[in-house]
Structure 1
Amino acid sequence: MLSRTDSEASFILVGSESVTDDKGSDAETPRAELNRMLPVSRLRRHCPVKRSSASQASRPQTPEQTFAHDWSAAGTGGRLYIHGRHFVDAHGRVCNLRGVNLSGNCKTPTNHDHDSFPANHADVTFVGRPFPLEEAPDHFARLRRWGLTFSTSAGYYGPVTSSGIYDTDYLSYIHVWSRYSGGSGAPAWTLEAVGFDLHGLEEPGAAWLRGVKGGGHIEDERGLWPCGYQKLAAATMATCFWAGDTFAPKLRVKNTEGEEVSIQVFLQTAFLNMWKVLAQAVGDLEGVLGFEIMNEPHRGYVELHSMHAFDYNTDLHLGHVPTAFQSFMLGAGHPATVGFWTRSFPMPTRRTSTKVLNTARQKAWRDDGPTNGLCIWEMHGVWGWDRRKDEGVVLRESYFTKDPMTGRKVDWYEDFYYPFFCPASWTAERRPANMIYAPHWYDLNGLFTKAFGNFTVNVQGLSRGMFPLKAFYWGHRGARDNFALQIQNIVEAGYRSLGERPVIIGECGIPMDMNKGEAFKTDRWQWQTCMMDAMLTALDRALIGFTLWNYNPDNEDHTGDDWNGENFSWFSRRRALTGMWLDHAQASPTLDNGARILRAFVRPYPAKTAGIPIDFSYEMNTGAFECAWVVPGPSADEPASPSVHRPPTSADAHPELTSKVTEIYLPSMIAHDRKSRQTLSIEPAALTPGQVHRVSVKVLLGDFGTHVVAAFVLLFSFLIAVVLVMLSETA
């Protein structure tokens, strides 16, 4: 199965780097106010605001009356920053950031045409994504009502031209390198710079493009797109980006200044220049929190141990999966017999047949390109074509495992990934204080099968050697426990590797079209509701924030998110009210139109805690929830190993609390609150060091409860009427 825990770990730089003193407290740093009207956005830089004066900080303050999930200057006291494993506001309260990815439709240009793709690639535009500016108040009002006021704004590398011109109206979010290799992210000219022919990639299997041309919905195409990471186009591009100087030194191209540079320098410079332009354009905006530099990076061929097979444990095998050697031959215009893999059990897939591909002898390389039509890996002596035998020959089987010049064994993380993002000066002692860990998590078995029921599998555990019977879970409680264990493992691994740093799950979500799209026919979403609840319960237990994948206004039932057959959005503009019919008041149920599975993802959570959170649980079926936190106390022995439920709680490990008020987001649809704040405020008499506060809330009536009571009233009235009629007849 495809591993999403190693290859897709992300790091986000949040704001200006804080300076800490010997006690770990933050030195004063200027910081601009956050915008009150818009959700806080990550992927971009947050600018600090001044902290309260000493006289104000000397006594507990009551924050201005805003709302629990308000991350503006008014809602946070003017500051939102990192301290240990938490985001903290100016009052020292721990902030739990929850929100959405905006949006899946950003993977596709606004002027994309399925029929003409990949033609006219120089004219694409992303202006208008994720929605027209005039619609923004509608969408942000909706997300605020649902408690999701922290967003990931998905910017793409696509609006950058080869001449260094940037579409500053819409500025990297990468899957399988680029739309032109079957994913999203990098612009078409990056592939052309390496020598690929954009119109010659499909026939030789260098890329699977049906998914970006409206396909991916039928059974034979379901879930094929992740296999694109191993195909010739994406794997070559990733290798050239990370390690072109090592493995493709002969490929040199001219940069925007007319200078000849290596392909690695060319690609990385364009990427970094794009980020420079983006940071200059939006870095000082008030609602910007941080930058996620790259989405789901992949190593390409680096550390590939065999030209004749990919690693079954880490690389998805589904459909036609040519080996690296077969990809080289196919891309050079030679037919090759390739294995075909289908879903199976207990192993995820197995090879069931073979087929000769590229009988048309289409080349993936441009004759007028920098390789003069030759495969880049043939140019570097990795393989060759035996003209006498009329067959391909592998010449350097272990080429991608060692430095070709020195013979030293290479490591993608240590030799290529870290040096690009983390200079040598970033030692454990000098690591930037404003870095957080933002991995992605999905239930891989649910994604792979696009199904969910009473049986779930811990794929993470199986990939790490877990005994199979221990990896199987039954029922809804089992799904909650399964997902909770997996997410806890990821979070605690982050604490072990990076120390006490905030963790936010940057992507997590569920497919709306699971179980063969049954819900679209019946309008019964019970399995989607159960799966979303299990995932969010796991996140609740881990005490971390997240951004759900995804909120897509363009989603439709049968086309989904219109990218590789995905259908993750639980909102669709097509189902929603707009214009004069939409009321922006936070208590208005008109904002809920267009959403699915509301009761699963609209749920209470402690947004700002006057202490250190140690427990939270919510029961979707009753609306009841419990939360617990501890007031930082005297120095004590901290846990030897980082733990989700045993955070550092000593006073010197947490900034001074200047507010006693804990604010819990309490949805009006649950509490039947007709006010707009949707906030439950809890204020103890005093902040006693070491004291644990535990709150249990049982919601007796809500929007759902009202309907239940009304039904009982009608039933009771009917029974009374029947009794009265019977009495009158006997009288």
Structure 2
Amino acid sequence: MNLPRLHIEGRWFVDEHGRRVILRGVNLGGDCKVPYPDGGTNFPSDFSNHREVSFIGRPFPIVEADEHFSRLRAWGFNCLRLLTTWEAVEHRGPNDYDAEYLDYFAELCRRAADYGFYLFVDFHQDVWSRMTGGDGAPCWLFEKVGIDYRRIAESGSAHVMQHLYDYSRGGRQEDRYPTMSWSANSRRPANGVMWTLFFAGRDFAPGLTIDGVNVQDYMLDHYLGAMREIARRVRDLPNVMGFDSLNEPHNGWIGDSLSYRHLGPTETNPNRAMPGLAWSPLDGLLVSHGVSRSIPVLDFDPAAKAAVHKRDRTINPDRISIWAEGRSDPFEQAGAWKLNSDGTFDVFRDDFFQRVGDRKVNFIEDYMGPFFASVAENIRAINPDWILFAELDPMSGFLGPGFPADTPPNTVNAGHWYDIVTLATKTFSPNFSLDVLTGEIATAAEQVQARYERQLGKFARMSETVNGGAPTLIGECGIPFDLNGAEAYRAFQAGDRSDTPWIPHIVALDLMYNALDTLLINSTQWNYTASNRNDLAIGDGWNQEDLSIFSRDQQTDRDDINSGGRALAGFVRPYAMATQGIPRKMKFDRVTGLFDYTFEAAPSAARATEIFVPRLQYPHGCEIEVIGGIAELDLDNQRAVIKVEQAGEVRIVICRKA
């Protein structure tokens, strides 16, 4: 399929024919974080084979591509956020790229074009690497900075499922590996060390050099080198729009006081505290050196509607150091602090991570800005037209800072948004929904949707800080499908094939997409995992997450394109894919099937407006009324084409036939 190339005009994606394009896509896929076939967190591992792993087969073997691409196209998606990892490309060692994997990945991109998918490449990471409880960076980087990866989990420097989980028990294990606990690794010392070195090694570890260059330059050069290897193989594909900068980057300890523990809003840090361990950088450095440390634990208090400190936890009771023989943390070498031989310590600069000389550091301006520039320069040396899909820390959209002043041109705001409580607790009810950032409680679906619109609207307004205005594409949004104790899985196992067990999921997704429609912003839902399983130990194969809109073990009829889909009525819905003019208003009522779309026509655009009209929402057909244009309905291809001949407002109304 010959896809017209896309470019940016203000807040819109625009195709070669002059039409505004709304991208509604999906992340492909959740298991791309782990090696194929048995590298998922549902398999025990000590990571000792980290140089020999392969990611060929993630997100699926090439022989399955037609099946999965056909399904995603039938569900109306027109865009893919296609995942890879730094580890997938350079796991063997520095500059030793996996050519077979790179060829496989390029073939996936070519096949995606055949099915009409635009895509951008996402170099994915979560909490740095698999060895630190997530995914992303190759293991040999720990050796380069002086860390023994085999001691990271044992010391408590990271919270790793493969270290904690009892595989003989299976299922949920809140006593050993609590639900969604992986994200707290961002506060633990292994992440603190690696992220600080990655973004700011020149400032905070000037003495740490690898192969003759500062650690920051070494790490960035290798990250960009892995990206270039993929870029070279897909440079001429018109469906490849560009690259994500880096999934959910973290500041490490940059900007933090060495000894400060955030227990609640203060004058210097007015943000609400999050549940979990309240680490200070000093706590992390001490634990990394084998010092046992008592850390405050914050638990959510329903009465206070906030996370409060009621207990402590001892970390690293066995006193295990993560530093290899003869190595030490470079921040001690740089004069931030000192661990004495008798176990005591001295702090020389509590503001060590907050100031460089006389300058107070700003993570977004001082480090994310130059990083965006480096990634943009890197990919545009291969293809000058590529778009940068830029991400800040995932909380930035909620808390409000804009993009760096020197964000490169041709950049999209690709931040992530979730209903945090639904994601963290895997529960949802429209009749009782907490906003963890404000403490407010919604007691009706309309209130939940209004909150979603406020939060997503804040993300969209951030785009105004990108070169005077840029598109918003919510790079991740979605829900866990093991909601409310995985009751839908039990119903499916018992033989219920109706939508009834999936009503909470359908409602949650519907409210999310209603908000996206209201704001007319783009999105790629998290996620589609071809290997997904309903087993609570497995899910999408990574840390018991299960946000996949497809599950292989729910596929009861291989001839039915929808078989295996979950809560389809929540996200398979009509939308304006390409508009011959400027979109003004889009709304869909899932219950009645009424779709109402208004745009300001621009007859100068060379192609007509296209609306996705899914059979799933209109099983007996539909009726379409157009004011200001002429409609051609093609239900076989799930499309409505609207032709206009003069400027002015055009309104399209689609409703179900009885």
TM-score for both structures, normalised by structure 2: 0.82
| Residues 314-371 of structure 1 deviation map (CA, whole Å, 9 limit, x = unaligned) | 697444444321221111112122223333223442233223332222111111xxxx
1:675/1:624 CA distance change after superposition, 3 Å: closer
**Is the CA contact 1:223–1:448 (under 8 Å) kept in the aligned structure 2?**
yes
> What residue in structure 2 maps to residue 94 of structure 1?
20
| Residues 419-477 of structure 1 deviation map (CA, whole Å, 9 limit, x = unaligned) | 222279999999755322211111112223321111223445x3xxxxx5xx4322112
Q: Which residues of 2 match residues 280-429 of structure 1 at below 5 A?
A: 280-310=232-262, 312=264, 317-345=274-302, 346-367=304-325, 372-387=326-341, 390-403=343-356, 406-422=357-373
Residue 39 (structure 2) aligned to one of 105, 112, 128: 112
Offset at 1:311?
A: 7.1
> What residue in structure 2 maps to residue 705 of structure 1?
none
Task: Give the distance between the partners of 2:585 and 2:274, measured in 1 at CA.
Answer: 40
SS in 2 for 1:507: coil
Offset at 1:235?
A: 1.2
**Is the CA contact 2:306–2:436 (under 8 Å) kept in the aligned structure 1?**
no
- State the AA in 1 paired with 2:459: I
Residue 438 (structure 1) aligned to one of 406, 414, 430: 414
Residue 170 (structure 1) aligned to one of 86, 101, 105: 101
| Residues 369-392 of structure 1 deviation map (CA, whole Å, 9 limit, x = unaligned) | xxx23233322332223445x423
Offset at 1:251?
A: 1.1
> What residue in structure 2 maps to residue 121 of structure 1?
50
| Residues 644-700 of structure 1 deviation map (CA, whole Å, 9 limit, x = unaligned) | xxxxxxxxxxx94234x321100012223595310112224x222xx2112222212
Offset at 1:108?
A: 0.8
1:423/1:126 CA distance change after superposition, 3 Å: closer
For structure 2, the 5+ residue unaligned runs are 103-122, 266-270, 378-402, 493-500, 622-633
Task: Give the distance between the partners of 1:301 and 1:392, measured in 2 at CA.
Answer: 19
Task: Give the distance between the partners of 1:428 and 1:522, measured in 2 at CA.
Answer: 48
| Residues 111-138 of structure 1 deviation map (CA, whole Å, 9 limit, x = unaligned) | 4273232221111110110000000000
Offset at 1:302?
A: 0.5
Offset at 1:511?
A: 1.0
Rg larger in structure: 1
| Residues 290-330 of structure 1 deviation map (CA, whole Å, 9 limit, x = unaligned) | 11121111111100024231475669744444432122111
Give me the identity figure in percent.
Answer: 32
> What residue in structure 2 maps to residue 232 of structure 1?
189
1:594/1:271 CA distance change after superposition, 3 Å: same
- State the AA in 1 paired with 2:605: L
| Higher RCO (C-alpha under 8 Å, 6+ residues apart) | 1
**Is the CA contact 2:364–2:404 (under 8 Å) kept in the aligned structure 1?**
no
**Is the CA contact 1:618–1:626 (under 8 Å) kept in the aligned structure 2?**
yes
Residue 598 (structure 1) aligned to one of 553, 568, 572: 568
1:433/1:386 CA distance change after superposition, 3 Å: closer
Q: Which residues of 2 match residues 273-284 of structure 1 at below 5 A?
A: 273-284=225-236
Deviates more, 1:515-524 or 1:561-570: 515-524
Task: Give the distance between the partners of 1:155 and 1:311, measured in 2 at CA.
Answer: 36
> What residue in structure 1 maps to residue 481 of structure 2?
512
Question: Is 2:533 aligned against 1:547?
Answer: no
SS in 1 for 2:143: helix
Question: Is 2:618 aligned against 1:671?
Answer: yes
Question: Is 2:641 aligned against 1:681?
Answer: yes
Question: Is 2:606 aligned against 1:658?
Answer: yes
- State the AA in 1 paired with 2:516: L
1:352/1:203 CA distance change after superposition, 3 Å: farther
**Is the CA contact 2:532–2:550 (under 8 Å) kept in the aligned structure 1?**
yes
Offset at 1:85?
A: 1.6
Task: Give the distance between the partners of 2:375 and 2:617, measured in 1 at CA.
Answer: 51
- State the AA in 2 paired with 1:607: M
Question: Is 2:530 aligned against 1:561?
Answer: no
Task: Give the distance between the partners of 2:409 and 2:274, measured in 1 at CA.
Answer: 40
> What residue in structure 2 maps to residue 615 of structure 1?
585
**Is the CA contact 1:175–1:183 (under 8 Å) kept in the aligned structure 2?**
yes
Task: Give the distance between the partners of 1:431 and 1:251, measured in 2 at CA.
Answer: 28
SS in 2 for 1:275: helix
1:287/1:429 CA distance change after superposition, 3 Å: same
Task: Give the distance between the partners of 2:32 and 2:272, measured in 1 at CA.
Answer: 26
Question: Is 2:555 aligned against 1:576?
Answer: yes
> What residue in structure 1 maps to residue 142 of structure 2?
191
> What residue in structure 2 maps to residue 84 of structure 1?
10
Offset at 1:222?
A: 1.5
SS in 1 for 2:636: coil
Deviates more, 1:671-680 or 1:438-447: 671-680
**Is the CA contact 2:421–2:436 (under 8 Å) kept in the aligned structure 1?**
yes
1:421/1:89 CA distance change after superposition, 3 Å: closer
Offset at 1:253?
A: 1.5
Question: Is 2:219 aligned against 1:219?
Answer: no
Task: Give the distance between the partners of 1:544 and 1:435, measured in 2 at CA.
Answer: 15
For structure 1, the 5+ residue unaligned runs are 1-35, 37-71, 255-259, 463-467, 583-589, 633-654, 702-731
1:549/1:293 CA distance change after superposition, 3 Å: same
Offset at 1:273?
A: 1.1
**Is the CA contact 1:226–1:316 (under 8 Å) kept in the aligned structure 2?**
no
Q: How many residues align?
A: 572
> What residue in structure 1 maps to residue 631 of structure 2?
none
- State the AA in 1 paired with 2:316: N
1:429/1:230 CA distance change after superposition, 3 Å: closer
Question: Is 2:487 aligned against 1:534?
Answer: no
Task: Give the distance between the partners of 1:429 and 1:616, measured in 2 at CA.
Answer: 32
Task: Give the distance between the partners of 1:657 and 1:508, measured in 2 at CA.
Answer: 31
**Is the CA contact 1:508–1:549 (under 8 Å) kept in the aligned structure 2?**
yes
- State the AA in 2 paired with 1:692: E
1:478/1:424 CA distance change after superposition, 3 Å: closer
1:214/1:83 CA distance change after superposition, 3 Å: farther
Task: Give the distance between the partners of 2:172 and 2:50, measured in 1 at CA.
Answer: 24
